[in-house]
Chain A
Amino acid sequence: MKPGPVAALAGLAMLLVGGSLATGGAAAARPTDGSVRITIHFSHFDPDAIEVEPGQTVRFVIHNTDPIDHEFILGDEHVQLVHEEGTEAHHPPRPGEVSIPPGATVVTTYTFPVSGGSLIFGCHLPGHYAYGMRGSVTIG
């Protein structure tokens, strides 16, 4: 039996609903040409979920649209804890660790381990991490 107009219309409806649902969910971002662009707005990272390949070197280009200081600290839970309890007001440009003044765009490059796993990026200025200023990187 050939699909009639009813089935065609129903299929189109399903496609539109499915497409709408798909755009509603936040898919993890992947590097383009080895770079990931992150925007900071209202003390949140966008995107806040990133997927990379094991051993991949990624250039993070981070733009702070807020009128307050932020930072981007990439690492495991231990790294996050050290920074959460740390006292560094500003960070020298270490790979994966950088301060972002208001309105500025900064770049940091990081090579992910070949072993896979996941890492976290966050801002550890007072109250920022608890406010939700964090994201995740899935390796593999």
Chain B
Amino acid sequence: MRHALARAAALATLTAILVVAGAGSALACGGLVTPNGTINLLKTTTLAAYHDGIEHYVTSFSFAGEGQEVGSIIPLPGVPTDVIKGGDWTLQRLVIETQPPTPRVAFFAAEDAAAGSAQVILETKVDALDITVLKGGALEVGNWAREHGYFLPPDAPEVLAFYAARSPIFLAARFNAERAAEQGVQTGQGTPIHIVIPTTNPWVPLRILTLGRKASEIVQADVFLLTDREPETLPQAVKARGFDQKQRGMIQQVSEPASGSLLRDLRSDRGMKWLPSSGMWLTYIRINEAAGQLTHDLAIDASGYGRPNPVAAGFPAAAAAQPWPVAWTLAAAIAAIALLMALTDPGLRRLAVRVLRR
């Protein structure tokens, strides 16, 4: 196991270094916002576990090197009670559990503005990362980000509004170059963070991954879910065709009871004692989709009722669905009445017969 973990960690690190070197940017499971506008093209890996009404969100940020200020913004479904350093091997262990032993190709494939600033509700440091949890609307969070030196691409106003309409909570993370140097953080080295969010409505942000990307660019992400029972998701993931890297969409690679060995390994990692030792369900969803198609998030219904919330997935509420314009409705009604009257009017019937005979 130790060998396998080391192999997975080495692969992940190697990937980060190679791609970071090319893109001059860093891994983050959130929208990447940088002073020079560079956007990462890396695959992101996230665990969203839901147990006892609490969402545990684990993701990792990679240091992009001194002089390259990189920050990320993650929308959250609720106010976190804690943001702590994530476990050292949780994400890698999940990769080993769910992916074939030769995933090398997978790693390398593919490609109102006068409003004030957001309210800072939590500030913490995790190693060299400065983390700020913000509460505010799209304008407030956008203003805060801009005022704190984050670069926001042109789609940011719309994407922030998309999230703020559902939950006004955002987490901004940024490496502090001085602390990174003091702590000897190497370029490409990941810092996992673990966000604890009490919520009745868990969801995983996906659309934020498209921030700053062209509609045709492929977004790749691995999303692991650990829930008390088999969850229903919205949108529903499509069944995997093996590990076909060409398969596009939100692909369900694994859906099975979490193995005892997986839960044991995860529970032995830092901050993972909350995880039950048995009875959890593991779902692995691979995102491999063009940015232009990824206009939603992933809603999870872990209640067993099988009804994930469309609003949590970023879809309009049923009542807010595009209404049939009133004028069209009225016109259709009048046209139908006119047609009925025409069919029952003897004069018009005779006229129609004459026209048809010609």
A: residues with CB less than 8 A from B are 4-6, 9-10, 12-13, 16-17, 19-20, 41-43, 64-68, 102-104, 123, 125-128, 130-131, 133
Contact = CB atoms under 8 A, between A and B. Distances in A.
Give the size category of B's interface with A: 35 or more
A128 B152 CA distance: 11
Interface stretch (B195-203, B279-287, B310-318, B338-346): B338-346
**Secondary structure class of chain B's binding surface, majority of residues:** helix
Given A9-B334, A10-B338, A12-B334, A67 B139 contact: yes
A9 B337 contact: yes
Interface of B: 37, 112-115, 138-143, 145-146, 152-158, 160-161, 212, 214, 325, 327-328, 330-332, 334-335, 337-338, 341-342, 345, 348
A45 to B, nearest CB: 12
Given A20-B328, A43-B155, A102 B335 contact: no
27 contacts: A9-B334, A9-B337, A9-B341, A10-B338, A16-B327, A16-B334, A17-B327, A17-B328, A17-B331, A19-B327, A20-B327, A20-B328, A43-B154, A43-B158, A65-B112, A67-B113, A67-B139, A67-B140, A67-B143, A67-B146, A68-B142, A68-B146, A103-B114, A125-B154, A126-B153, A128-B154, A131-B155
Nearest to A10: B338
Contacts of A66: 113, 142, 157
Contacts of B325: 20
Contact of A43 (B157, B332, B342): B157
Contacts of A19: 327
B73 to A, nearest CB: 12
Nearest to B145: A67
A90 to B, nearest CB: 14
A63 B214 CA distance: 26
A38 B129 CA distance: 41
Contacts of A67: 113, 138-143, 145-146, 152, 156-157, 160
